[in-house]
Amino acid sequence: MKIIRKASGAFQAHLSANISKLRSSSSIIISSAPSQTKDDTPQKTDQELKMFQSKIERNSAQTHFFPTMQFNLKTISYGEKTLTSAYPQQSNVNEVIELMTRTGATNIIGVGNGAAIDLAKACYYKRIADDHDDDIGELILNPSTLGAIGTATSEHCLLLDTEEEALMPVYSSSTIDKDARSIIIDESSISIPSWLTRDIQNKKRTNIATITDNVLASLVVALDAAHAMGDDGVIEEGKISCLNECIQSSARYLSSIQNSPNDFNVAENQEFAISAVLHAGQLLSFGRENSLSTRRNIAIALSASILPKHFPHGNWSTFTASLLPGVVNAVNNCDEADENEILIDSISTLLNLESQASPSHLVEWFERLDKNSMSSGVLEIPSLSSLSEGAPGFSELLTKVEDHSAFTQCVDADSDYLENILVSSLNR
């Protein structure tokens, strides 16, 4: 996996550097469709929301324009008007593969939100799994949102199963050339909401994660990854560095928003948010990596099994961010937590302590953060219960998580840990 990160012009630079390979065959560009909006009167137009959506559409348009018009590459398109779901489905994969087969396209370019990025990855993995003898081509991911950055940097991806009302994993193959997947982070093209809190009165904003949602979600992923690393004893090379980068970036963002709540500037803190989600994506485990002892990250385990059906009022990042109180309490209640050196080091990094911290320090930190969240009106920790719609009790939710784990043959954390997270998060 190559990550190309620039302040601007990253996508054009990558095309220019790889023009000979890309010209050898056609490329399919998978993009997400623009959000469907009603014809509002000018007085009712949400200018902040319009700017957010327009930037995503502009990045998608540029990703279509540059290959075709500037570099004279042969391209075909999918999803511009049809990929409206929050998660891609198997039917989308089948349609893309059929289109690629019919046109001879081998390169895949994904641009837009998380759905487009996941679909591009799923199609690429599908072609490899089908044992094609021809050139598999390049996979280029050009995310337009913070959530899509995390999706792009994660190893595997998820598809929505409408019958199960759950998300099913699609796994990357170990035979994939790691340099064949390129992730373009063009900081000038990333669309980030300018608003800091969720507006439950504005239905069009309900399923859009704020910048804070993405940072808190990254922290949930990182803390759970630290907990799992200490338990498993199997640590992939580079994961500790990635873990520290994620936690440090999250801590800097949260420190900034707490120290200057009235003068908080989204643009000035964009760097911290991008770094947090970029590294969080690389920390996501799906329960089948490296060895059977590697468990699923709690963000994957819970979102895949219960998010689509029971928590429809929040996207993946907001849902994951709402798990922070649960993860903090679950970590604190683990008997082995004090002996988990990776976890303790991570807590110390988060709290900026030179001496080693403890899980109880993490609880104290969260209580201060939560108090600040309720009083500042700027820093908001999403509530899991506010995202639900007719969700059953935690016992039934836990059963759904365990059933999903068995169905997908994934390894999860023990039931006490899962139960603690669900109970603490739902009761907040």
- Tell me, what's the pLDDT at 151? 96
Residue ranges per structural domain of the chain? 2-33+54-186, 211-427
Q: Residue with structure tokens 């759905």?
A: 115
Count of other CB atoms within 10 angstroms of residue 82: 11
How far is 305 from 287, CA to CA, in rounded Å? 13
- Nearest CA-CA partner of 155 in 125, 135, 184: 125
- Tell me, what's the pLDDT at 339? 86
> pLDDT, tens digit, for every residue of 313-358?
779 999 999 999 999 999 999 888 888 999 999 999 999 887 788 8
How far is 71 from 232, CA to CA, in rounded Å? 47
Tens of pLDDT, residue by residue, the chain (428 residues): 889 998 889 999 999 999 998 998 899 999 988 876 555 544 467 899 999 999 999 999 999 999 999 999 999 999 888 888 889 999 999 999 999 999 999 999 999 999 999 999 999 999 888 866 556 789 999 999 999 999 999 999 999 999 989 999 999 876 666 667 899 999 999 999 999 887 666 777 878 999 999 999 999 999 999 999 876 555 766 889 999 999 999 999 999 998 888 888 888 899 999 999 999 999 999 987 654 458 899 999 999 999 999 988 779 999 999 999 999 999 999 888 888 999 999 999 999 887 788 899 999 999 999 888 887 778 889 999 988 877 888 899 999 999 999 999 999 999 999 999 999 999 88
> pLDDT, tens digit, for every residue of 354-372?
778 889 999 999 999 988 8
- Nearest CA-CA partner of 28 in 2, 56, 63: 63
Q: Are 118 and 247 in contact (CB under 8 A)?
A: no
Give CATH for domain 2-33+54-186: 3.40.50.1970
Q: Residue with structure tokens 């390169």?
A: 107
- Tell me, what's the pLDDT at 262? 82
CA distances for 62 relative to 69, 116, 388, angstroms: 10, 15, 37
Give the pairing of strands 107-112 and 75-78: unpaired
Residues composing the chain: 428
CA angle 275/282/169 to nearest 5° reads 135
- Tell me, what's the pLDDT at 42? 47
How far is 345 from 354, CA to CA, in rounded Å? 10
Please give the span between the terminal C-alpha atoms of the chain, in angstroms, as a whole number. 39
Sign of the torsion formed by the C-alpha atoms of 328, 331, 334 and 339: negative
Burial of 38 (0-12, 13-18, 19+ CB in 10 A): exposed
DSSP type of residue 296: B
- Tell me, what's the pLDDT at 201? 63
DSSP string computed for 341-384: HHHHHHHHHHHT-SS---HHHHHHHHHHHHHHHHHHSSS-PPPG
Give CATH for domain 211-427: 1.20.1090.10
How far is 50 from 235, CA to CA, in rounded Å? 43
